């Protein structure tokens, strides 16, 4: 299959609510929407990085330039038999995994459409609906948090994740556990702590959490292993896992017992499947994380989460929680904590072209290939 051209669009989508984490407050989601054109078909992906390098080091301005000037020209016009071959064309460029993931994921959509098959079937998925939970930002008060938790449980969500930061952690978790003793409860620190906070994490053991997500530095696994040995609650690694190799090393030294897999963070769908297979070899679970994706990114995550070891509820909750109007025609909505997998070819979703045009802040059409 040949990629004949590509289109980049920078779009901004307002969130329905103020979302606060240890990184700060977010009210708008900015993303690059990538469309690949080939053989009369279109393949879609969205980027997951932010404007500023708070989650990981990549940024939207850097991703735009790299896609337009290097990555897309590198693959245009080449006869690519499958996503593995496309990855081979760009693997030599170091780092920038979120940016490369967008190109690879758009090609997966294009390639699966050419096969007339949904992505989940081509990947070897085993389910047509996936369990999902919700992630709650830092609220103004414990009372406000308890109200949001109650709403989430009444809507059937199968896991409640609370964002925490120093000073907003043990008291919060214990209050939620007391109010909802049967809830599947987790917390996410987004790298806000250090080993100096071991007493905090030992206190969190009393909250009967399923896991504590990414408590320590974004690029660490060694200190996570020390912390995991000191507490009974499982540690879930997020930002620290940027490749299958990271996953293997982290599980080998006992840095955690769960992995939050985000396809963009590890370099795309091929890498995601490898991370999944590594966790399977250790007999440990993985779950699908979220980066406030709009419809294209959310659909891709749902397809990947059909693989066997995605047994814990992920972050692919209903799109209507986040957006007044999503950028795709299909409604990605959970029922009783289960998200149906789109069944059409590729991602199985279609763009709302008028809305995308309205939301576009800038665009570029790429038709030039690398020369030589």
Of 97, 100, 161, 163, catalytic: 163
249 is catalytic: no
Question: What are the structure tokens assigned to 329, written together?
Answer: 């025609």
Cα(124)–Cα(310) distance, rounded to whole angstroms? 13
Rounded alpha-carbon distances, angstroms, from residue 7 to 33, 34, 247, 267, 365: 8, 6, 33, 20, 5
β-bridge mates for residue 13, sequence order: 29
For the question of residue 163 being annotated catalytic, the response is: yes
Among residues 161, 262, 274, 358, which one is catalytic? 262
Measured CA to CA, the distance from residue 180 to residue 176 in angstroms comes to 6
**Which is nearest to 345 in space by CA: 42, 34, 105, 114?**
114
Annotated active-site positions, please? 163, 262
């Amino acid at each position: 299959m040949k990629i004949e051209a590509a289109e980049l669009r920078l779009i901004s989508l307002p969130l329905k609510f103020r979302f606060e984490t240890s990184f700060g407050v977010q009210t708008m989601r900015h993303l690059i929407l990538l469309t690949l054109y080939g053989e009369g078909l279109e393949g879609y992906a969205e980027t997951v990085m932010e404007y500023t390098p708070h989650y990981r080091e990549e940024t939207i301005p850097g991703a735009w330039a790299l896609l337009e000037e290097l990555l897309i020209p590198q693959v245009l016009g080449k006869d690519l038999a499958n996503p593995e071959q496309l990855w081979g064309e760009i693997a030599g460029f170091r780092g920038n995994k979120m940016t490369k993931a967008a190109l690879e994921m758009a090609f997966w959509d294009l390639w699966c459409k050419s096969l007339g098959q949904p992505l989940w079937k081509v990947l070897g998925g085993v389910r047509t609906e996936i369990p999902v939970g919700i992630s709650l930002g830092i609220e103004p008060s414990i009372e406000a948090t308890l109200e949001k938790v109650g709403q989430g449980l009444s809507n059937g969500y199968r896991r409640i994740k609370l964002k925490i930061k120093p000073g907003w952690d043990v008291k919060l978790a214990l209050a939620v556990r007391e109010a909802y003793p049967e809830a599947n409860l987790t917390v996410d620190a987004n790298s806000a702590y250090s080993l100096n906070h071991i007493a905090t994490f030992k206190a969190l053991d009393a909250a009967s959490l399923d896991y504590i997500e990414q408590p320590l530095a974004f690029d660490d696994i060694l200190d996570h292993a020390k912390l995991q040995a000191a507490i009974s609650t499982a540690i879930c690694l997020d930002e620290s896992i940027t490749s299958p190799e990271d996953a293997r090393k982290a599980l080998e030294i006992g840095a955690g017992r769960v992995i939050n897999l985000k396809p963009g963070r590890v370099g795309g769908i091929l890498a995601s499947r490898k991370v999944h297979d590594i966790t399977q070899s250790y007999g440990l679970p993985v779950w699908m994380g979220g980066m406030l994706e709009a419809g294209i990114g959310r659909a891709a995550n749902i397809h990947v989460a059909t693989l066997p070891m995605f047994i814990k509820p992920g972050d692919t909750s209903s799109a209507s929680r986040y957006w007044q109007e999503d950028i795709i025609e299909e409604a990605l909505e959970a029922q009783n904590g289960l998200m149906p997998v789109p069944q059409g070819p590729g991602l199985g979703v279609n763009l709302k072209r008028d809305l995308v045009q309205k939301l576009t802040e800038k665009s570029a059409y790429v038709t030039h290939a690398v020369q030589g």
